[in-house]
Amino acid sequence: MNRRLALVLPALALPVLLSACSNDSSRIVLRPPCPNPAILAEAGDLSRFRDAGRDLTDLTLSARIQAIGGSCRPTSERSRDQLDTRFSVAITAMRGPASPARTADIPWFVALMEGGEVIAKQSFTLRVNFPANQDQVSVTTPESTTILNLAPGKTGAAYQLMVGFQLSPEELAYNRSIAGK
């Protein structure tokens, strides 16, 4: 009889457990995944030179995007179509031998992409200070926030958060020329 009871009790408990899960299913909100962060390969490095020189002695500034950090969550408890996306970027900057200044303004951007198309872009400038006797610093940008309106039937994973330096045509050409080496 105990054995029979042991087999029947789990079967009787299952409807009770399921009803407890579904009592207020309207309150359950699945948190959509965040957009995929990526560093744009051609714009992940910044090299600035004095005048037309391209020698190491002409370098005034060198910078590299190291990482993207962040998180996302629905904008409200019941929201499924908007994400509050927060991110920051880790950058290492080096003051070159041709730089007369101990500060540098580094322009960077974040672009929101869907299916290979840019749907939004925001530009920033990061001021970097090089302390005395220090020519390299690692900094993290202040946290930025953006609201992502999700297309119907899509999660944040359908989007990409692309980060890079805002390069001049000459800086981009330089990056492309050294990429093949």
The token pair at 6 is: 């042991």
Q: Where are the domains of the chain?
A: 29-179
Inform me whether the pLDDT recorded for 43 exceeds 60. yes
Q: CB-based contacts of 168: which residues, under 8 Å, 6+ apart?
A: none
Residue of 56 and 108 predicted with greater confidence: 108
pLDDT for 13? 37
First-residue to last-residue Cα distance in the chain: 79
Q: Does the reported pTM lie above 0.85? A: no
Q: What is the pLDDT of residues 70-118, one digit of tens each?
A: 999 988 877 778 999 999 999 999 999 999 999 999 999 999 999 999 9
Is the torsion defined by CA of 80, 110, 161, 117 positive or negative? positive
Please classify residue 156 by burial: count the beta carbons closer than 10 Å to its beta carbon, then call 0-12 exposed, 13-18 middle and 19+ buried: buried
Those residues whose C-beta lies under 8 Å from the C-beta of residue 71, and which sit 6 or more positions away, are 34, 85, 86
Mean pLDDT of the chain: 84
CATH 2.60.40 is held by the domain 29-179: yes
